[in-house]
Structure 1
């Protein structure tokens, strides 16, 4: 099982959707919980289709703030129990244990004075009968001063009320691998603030059911929050052979026309039909070789950019070299854009008009 929680900071623009689609395609999460979608429920339906999910429960944003979405694969037996503008609670059937476990996605109230309401909501979700329970999201709070760097000191009272929530609900912080902070304001070095606002919590019952779990802080080319990924077991990937396909992104390069012209004007012998077949074969072979040299494998380049961004975040968790972070994010976005051209062509999709950078992404 793979679960992803991410404060995406808005899905009304191509960059955010592109980064999310890349993350989903790479990890294929069973459950995806999004915070701050900044979209109405009807527009989240468009995002759901783009991501390839069959099931989605969304809470509309209020103006240009808030908005939640929970997506899951069709084979996942999930039933939403309750929701508000700050949470979505569901029960998920687990076939291995022939029972249900509770999933709660949380977005801590951004107003400090109202955050206690979020904690009280979580407490109210604790049933009279204890079931395995997993809680995740952007809590907008830290547990201790070590989870914050830069800016003003966090009031002890705020952190204490958050720790009290964990005690009251018998939660355990599931820890993480990767960069120590999940949010950064991305300002200059003197004014940089980094915090661990996003996390997974669980009770002992859930830990007993899924003992092999691990939580990873991912990388983001769009949001100022990192996605947090939970793996309950090691996933395996499979490779498939690929056929030659013409890629629309080739036409952006001047070399493309020269390669086609040279291949088509090459010497051939035999009847006309065989000549055409020979020219097509020579052209496709040269284009494939040129593509490998010029672009490499797009997915491989994207993975290299992901890895580089992750390494930058791990080497510099305090964002003291902001230009390196920005360059790594831009490189990943560039290759995601090229992949978008590729996939739009293959899927014959018109969901994004070429060159349209309007932030009102869904009309």
Structure 2
């Protein structure tokens, strides 16, 4: 299946669950059987299709404590299917005469988008021979002010320059890869008819270029997919691309409100989410906490206090920066730790100056306090906003 060019969708009663959370009541399923099912899905390169409706698709029909439910029915697809039909889902209908719920596959409209994607630093850029010298030329231009203001003026400048550089140097990597693959097919077909030294040399050069571009695409997609458990040599652009589509494919399609309304429009869900969490995060606690300071003995000496309050060294700044994973989620400025690691020799003096200034002034410009609020589902298929946990994504600096 993994090498087939025809899209595959497998839908129906698999008579097994993926893990014990996919049942309610009844006896636990054999662990070996569940592992074999999961291994089969992974070996075949299959992905779970997005579903709507009840999570359990089967009921034994018995009464009282003997009744049990399980998710025995599902739809799984391969990467070819997901690439061809990116917005497909299935609806779990109510059971009637059967003990299994009917499944109806639905081909949806194009995914709703809220506007242009924000800037994200692409770690694949760092593999280009001209990357460092290009950033060097932009970063060394005179900034505005000093310290934090200087950093806040240089990062947007680098962002604008990198976006233009990406367009001219990289373009759309998937189009370049398809062009090189077509070129290789063409050259091989010519060489199969008759050998030509020029075509043979062109074929080798095209294969080297394709290998380079595939590596860049692997780096870009792996960073976006956050598949940090994959080691060098395990990357597969097709898998990463499908994985990202599958994540987008699992977007929230409906949301139940406390007043009984069910929102299905992406814009309505978006607006309601903003209203809900603005109210939730804006609440202030009315609790009065007791003053327990008299019960706590001071254990920090004057020497310790001076040591804690001293200016940080360049080594401490570097250690803190390099401890941030390269694939960590990006904040509003779009620059992850990978940029600062690769460009450390360029940015270290400006970074240290900005951090020392903060230690002295205790003031942060407004743009440094900005963050993204991201909603993390607490459960599979969350149905209400109370089933999400808000977290903040801050910038590196």
Q: Shared topology, TM-score over 0.5?
A: no
Query: Comparing both structures, which one devotes a greater share of its residues to helix?
Result: 2
> Under a length normalisation based on structure 1, what TM-score does the superposition of the two structures give?
0.29
TM-score (norm: length of structure 2): 0.27
Larger Rg: 2
